[in-house]
Chain A
């Protein structure tokens, strides 16, 4: 019990630290914090600047600003984007659903594909087909995500014209949206499955030389039975953290794919905010991502303890 308490305390502390970092970064960076908080291409007169400064509390001492900052977060107020003329939380909410449509299927598919194929590859390592498979997954694993996306966009959309060049939709009908999503989902699935594949493969390779596997074989079980009934469960353990983290990075994991395919989700929002130096949006996105990542870690910890009782024993 005290271990769980300590863990939760650690998570809260991490959250607190990262949120505080988010407060400090725009204020400690070179330049006027007002510009850092508003974004650089907002042109204002001197009197408005002073007005805004007092409105945003930048003329107050840091300690008071810090309290105000937390007050805002606890009221789900992430600030106001002067660049997009809207509250940051509204912008984020409108973008999140599009990103989820792209990343949720990819993460789920990638998890299933990666673990099963990885398990089979670790089990039957010597067959020529598995070797081919392993090398191609390794190639994908080693390619920078943006580069592979660019190549796929170039070959399948630009050259072959099989898929649309950009965006989430052109007419808005479900089939149209699916047509737009197909290629990016495929690329992202390849990435997430390639990583899961490599981990799962290594994990099965290690597990299968344990005594219980030899015993299952001596008992006369079939190959598939040994793998999926006995080894799979144990081999799955190291991958659980990765899967949980996939869900933690569900908003930002698709960043580069969204940018390359010009899809207006969270990733492109972050990119646009970078290009126009729209700091409130950047910070808001960072906060959401942080909350997701920290809760995913917590989830992984809980899941891990449930699936492997040996962990919670010490």
Chain B
């Protein structure tokens, strides 16, 4: 029961390896969608067909091939996930770095803002904004990104507070480098390992939120995403008629992708000697 155990993985190493493979294959699927998908997802065949060799997962109510739709949908789902997470991470990192590096009044102000953002009920707010704006999926990602940076900011700040006192930062300061230079080329590289798991967790929650919003029918109706597919299956009778090939694959895809991202993030956190608590 000593501390060395902590360094061991939460789940065995081959699990994190598997999740990495899964993660990469989803990325490839999104990138190579036109190559992998047998049909254009907008071409219409006979509607409500059961799975066959011709249509691996059958066709939906409009006659689109569901397998191709599934592959193309990964693009929007991943763009929203990555976009929101990227934005949240950038905002959180910059705010955390400035608060931690400058301390004092800037710290008070920035952390005050962070506390206030932390108190906004985010999912209800996103739902209301989506209802008013009828947004495109870029906008949905933007809204999520601008709300979800708070925990990153807190973690980055506490790390930056530690690192600004180290001797190499002091050396850089005494050599006369500017604050900006110290923050971005001395401190930032030393907190990347803290930011990465945060970034991955943000992808996971953004993807779950996007699918939930789409399920409510508030997503971008012109874009195909996994959440939209489930929404259409739900409102157009896929559940009542027992067309499992319509709603099950997108749900499984979301779950698997989120799972792979979360597992990679855990692996990161643990290799970082458990300095952070999982928030």
- Chain A positions within 8 Å of B, measured between CB atoms, are 10-11, 13-14, 17-18, 25-26, 29-30, 36, 125, 131, 134-135, 138-139, 141-147, 150-151, 154, 158, 198-199, 202-203, 205-206, 208-209, 213-214, 217, 238, 248-249, 252, 255-256, 259, 270-271, 274-275, 277, 279, 282-283, 285-286, 289-290, 293-294, 297
Chain B residues touching A, range:
35 or more
Query: Does the CB pair B277–A286 fall under 8 Å?
Result: no
The contact string, 1 if C-beta is below 8 Å from chain A, for chain B 180-223, is: 00000000000000000000000010001001100111100000
Q: List, in ascending order, chain A residues with CB within 8 A of B216's CB.
A: 259, 271, 274
How far, in Å, is A29 (CB) from chain B's closest CB? 4
Q: How far is the CA of A147 from the CA of B132 in the complex (A)?
A: 25
Query: Does the CB pair A198–B278 fall under 8 Å?
Result: yes
Query: Does the CB pair B119–A147 fall under 8 Å?
Result: no
Query: Does the CB pair A29–B133 fall under 8 Å?
Result: yes
Q: Which residue of B lies closest to A248 (CB)?
A: B121
How far, in Å, is B246 (CB) from chain A's closest CB? 12
Query: Does the CB pair A274–B218 fall under 8 Å?
Result: yes
With A205-B274, A282-B131: A142-B262 Cβ-Cβ less than 8 Å: yes
- Chain B positions within 8 Å of A, measured between CB atoms, are 1-3, 5-6, 10-11, 112, 115-116, 118-121, 123-125, 127-129, 131-133, 204, 208, 211-212, 215-218, 227, 230, 234, 239, 247, 251, 254-255, 258-259, 262-263, 274, 277-279
Q: How far is the CA of A139 from the CA of B256 in the complex (A)?
A: 9
Q: List, in ascending order, chain B residues with CB within 8 A of A142's CB.
A: 204, 255, 258-259, 262
Q: How far is the CA of A25 from the CA of B212 in the complex (A)?
A: 22
How far, in Å, is A206 (CB) from chain B's closest CB? 5
How far, in Å, is A270 (CB) from chain B's closest CB? 7
Query: Does the CB pair A202–B1 fall under 8 Å?
Result: no
Q: How far is the CA of A146 from the CA of B228 in the complex (A)?
A: 13
Query: Does the CB pair B128–A256 fall under 8 Å?
Result: no
How far, in Å, is A305 (CB) from chain B's closest CB? 15
Q: How far is the CA of A293 from the CA of B121 in the complex (A)?
A: 7
Query: Does the CB pair B115–A134 fall under 8 Å?
Result: no
In the complex, the 8 A-B pairs of residues with the closest C-beta atoms, listed nearest first: A209-B3, A202-B278, A142-B259, A142-B258, A147-B251, A14-B116, A29-B132, A14-B119
Further contacts, 4 of them, CB under 8 A, given A10-B115, A209-B3: A14-B120, A144-B208, A198-B278, A294-B119
